[in-house]
Structure 1
């Protein structure tokens, strides 16, 4: 098995519904000695690129369109290349296009140079993720699973070859994923988690967007109890 996983943890601030939160973000680098895919580049492009080293970045995958996953996406995709044609493609699910546009629109409003502001407003992801889509890196395949709830376009990524589920902010250890305990659509998120976990091997590793890793079995055993969270929110 040539493909391996490396983790970089960065911290920063993200704004959600006009509230600022401190967020710790897990970035995953999947690949071999020559090529990698970066999942959720987070806040620290320098830390991520240092870990990547001389390897070529084949794609940057954002598991949702929230700020803490987009903040370093372009810097990591560029990897020091001035010519945009040499940048790695950035991938996002189309259902999070509004979050993308909100984020880069905000950057555009803060930009003094009008040409740079126009460029930011016109930015789009290079790849629109689709349920069942597959990326290949080294001897591993990364299959995209659409898991809406945390955001409309949240995705999780399964790789049987490296024995891992990258759950993004759909699922964290011991709870549904969230920023500051806030949920966009918890019922939909719980449905996504249940559908995601049920068919998977119980010993499969789960690497979340924040916090420590867990397993499918551990979270599947907890899943039903989380329904109380949705009931509390309805009340």
Structure 2
């Protein structure tokens, strides 16, 4: 039985891309136990994230993708904890917009495992919202951390640079909707959902995108 639990911190700030800016609230997810933790998407407020870490050893700061609102606190959190920042290399072009002078410490790849508190987090490469977008699947916990690939009510946005609607639909259909329907989906923004709740809507998303 996994000893890991999921903690949540909500941070707020500004998302910028393609010359626009939007006020956003981001979900920051922490997976671990009383001793160690993985931080998923260090957004906006390093102080709030470090308070949630609460002195635990940070195994890694994992970026589901590199839009600025998901990585703008990553370097500060990594610097304060000594943890590596992990990102899929296909999102380096987006990362460099926010952190041009600081490369990620390691690369995420499809099928890779990140281990924390005796729990395996499996990396699923799910491009579409961003080229290097990934989700993290923890079967022992029955949880998927979907970043901005899948939300309560539909797929992530694909109307901006480096995104593609047919690609995100393919990622969701082939990589996420094949997971057990009871899998809880913890998203990058907004409320959580389940695979079973979202799966019936795939066809209408496709119709909406055409």
TM-score by length of 2: 0.95
1:72 aligns with 2:73: yes
Distance of 1:201 and 1:174 partners within structure 2 = 18
Deviation at 1:159, TM superposition (A): 0.3
Distance of 1:74 and 1:166 partners within structure 2 = 21
Distance of 1:53 and 1:178 partners within structure 2 = 33
What count of residue pairs does the alignment treat as equivalent? 208
Distance of 1:154 and 1:222 partners within structure 2 = 21
Q: Report the counterpart of residue 109 of structure 1 in structure 2.
A: none
Q: Report the counterpart of residue 35 of structure 2 in structure 1.
A: 34
Structure 1: where are the runs of 5+ without partners? 82-86, 106-119
Deviation at 1:182, TM superposition (A): 5.1
Structure 2: where are the runs of 5+ without partners? none
Deviation at 1:198, TM superposition (A): 3.1
Distance of 1:222 and 1:9 partners within structure 2 = 27
Distance of 1:228 and 1:130 partners within structure 2 = 31
Deviation at 1:150, TM superposition (A): 0.2
1:101 aligns with 2:96: yes
Distance of 2:125 and 2:8 partners within structure 1 = 23
Q: Report the counterpart of residue 44 of structure 1 in structure 2.
A: 45
On the 8 A contact 1:139/1:161 being kept in 2, the answer is no
Query: Which protein is richer in helix relative to its size?
Result: 1
Alignment equivalent of 2:178, drawn from 186, 199, 202 = 199
On the 8 A contact 2:18/2:160 being kept in 1, the answer is no
User: C-alpha root-mean-square deviation of aligned residues, in Å?
Assistant: 1.4
TM-score by length of 1: 0.85
On the 8 A contact 1:13/1:21 being kept in 2, the answer is yes
Residue deviations 1:75-112 (CA, integer Å, cap 9, x gap): 11122x6xxxxx1100000000111112223xxxxxxx
Alignment equivalent of 2:124, drawn from 145, 158, 166 = 145
SS of residue in 2 equivalent to 1:162 = coil
Q: Report the counterpart of residue 26 of structure 2 in structure 1.
A: 25
SS of residue in 1 equivalent to 2:99 = helix
**Which stretches of structure 1, 4 residues or more, deviate above 6 A after TM superposition?**
none
1:128 aligns with 2:129: no
Deviation at 1:65, TM superposition (A): 0.9
Deviation at 1:178, TM superposition (A): 2.6
Distance of 1:196 and 1:14 partners within structure 2 = 27
